[in-house]
Chains A and B, each alone.
Chain A
Amino acid sequence: MHAIKAFWMPLAVTPLLWLATTLFAYLIGKWLQKLCRNSPIANPVLIAIVLVAILLAATGTPYDQYFAGAQFINFLLGPATVALAVPLALNTAHIKSSLHGVGLALISGSITTTLSGVVVVRMLGGDRSIALSMAPKSVTTPIAMAVAEEVGGVPALTAALAIAGGIFAAVIGQVVLRWLRVDDWRAHGLAAGVAGSGVAAAQVAPLSGLAAAFAAVGIGLNGLLTALIVPLLAHLWPAS
């Protein structure tokens, strides 16, 4: 036992261990999804989060210590958000040709998600900070966390909700939309981007280039719109 501890302790304090753990957990998630024939239910992000959380609990590692290593991966979320500019710029022609639909669908979808989240949380007795953590959860995680921080929500809770919501949108998206007889890839992509951000977009993007482009548009523009709507909502709803 002592020998194991003597081996474990110096490893546990190095950031490398948790950096490598995060990468391997993601690879395992990817591999399991492939085994399940790319089923949206076998979401690699969800699998990886569960694996890492179990490992942290089993080794008694505090989250701060994990994050000291994993922050190098987390840091890349910023450049990845900026990178959404590239598909956005490359697809301006597609966007221009359906500007009407994109604008209308985006604004109604964004307001519906934000308001319904806040209303349901409040109706079931959740407090203000939970409601404000829920409000920005549909946009891509880095934006959602920044907005939550801005309005007095809990960024970590928002991150968890954003990822869980994205997974849920990825799982139900194609089934529900096909049932509603929506067979347009532009609508599939945009809806995935608006309701489930990057996680849901990752599900539809490989199926169609058009869906990928509109998902990027949905993520980008919804990020902007939500970053404007949610602070406004928080402003109109002063803390009592």
Chain B
Amino acid sequence: MPAAFAVLVGAQLLGEMLRLLLHLPLPGPVIGMFILTIGLLFSYGRWARKREDKPSALENMSTSLIENMGLLFIPAGVGIVTEWTVLRRDWLPILLGLLVSTALGLVVTALIMHRVTQRASR
């Protein structure tokens, strides 16, 4: 468990350092995610792959973090109380912008993915 957590935090730290050094426009954790993905692909069996059908410590840790990501959103989400004045003043563009762009993104992504994969399997 400590080793798995160290891998995640270490990759994040590496991402932050790269961001500062190279002035990258990407957030540190995203850079860390890609560093770790590349690292896992190169060191296959060692961390990510299941060993004797048992998930590795890193896989267990990642699964529980991802499954409970909802919990991690709550502190930032409660921050909506600080934006109350903006929300009340501009509720219409915010609400419609949110609903329209989310629904369009969902439909466009799913329809294209569905069409392309169907054509490929035919």
| Chain A positions near chain B (C-beta within 8 angstroms) | 22-23, 25-26, 29, 44-45, 48-49, 52-53, 56-57, 63, 66-67, 70-71, 73-74, 76-90, 92, 98, 100-102, 104-106, 108-110, 112-114, 116-118, 120-127, 130-131, 134, 137-138, 140-143, 145-147, 150, 154, 156-157, 159-165, 168-169, 172-173, 176-177, 180, 182, 184, 186-188, 190-192, 194-196, 198-199, 202, 205, 216, 218, 220, 223-224, 227-228, 231
Contact = CB atoms under 8 A, between A and B. Distances in A.
A143 B58 CA distance: 22
B109 A120 contact: no
A192 B41 CA distance: 25
B81 A101 contact: no
Given A81-B33, A89-B37, A142-B29, A172 B75 contact: no
B75 A227 contact: no
B113 A165 contact: no
Contact of B112 (A66, A79, A104, A173): A104
B76 to A, nearest CB: 4
A77 B109 contact: no
Contact of A169 (B59, B106, B120): B106
Contacts of A73: 71-72, 74-75
Nearest to B59: A86
Contact of B98 (A78, A79, A98, A164): A164
Interface string B20-63: 00000111111011111100110000001100000000110111
Chain B interface: which size bin?
35 or more
A20 B84 CA distance: 25
25 contacts: A26-B74, A44-B70, A49-B80, A53-B78, A56-B78, A79-B65, A81-B27, A81-B32, A88-B37, A105-B110, A112-B105, A112-B108, A116-B104, A121-B94, A125-B93, A130-B93, A131-B97, A142-B29, A143-B27, A160-B76, A163-B76, A169-B105, A184-B118, A187-B113, A198-B73
A116 B106 CA distance: 12
Nearest to A84: B33
Contacts of B86: 130, 154, 157
B81 A150 contact: no
Closest 3 CB pairs of A and B: A109-B109, A113-B105, A146-B27
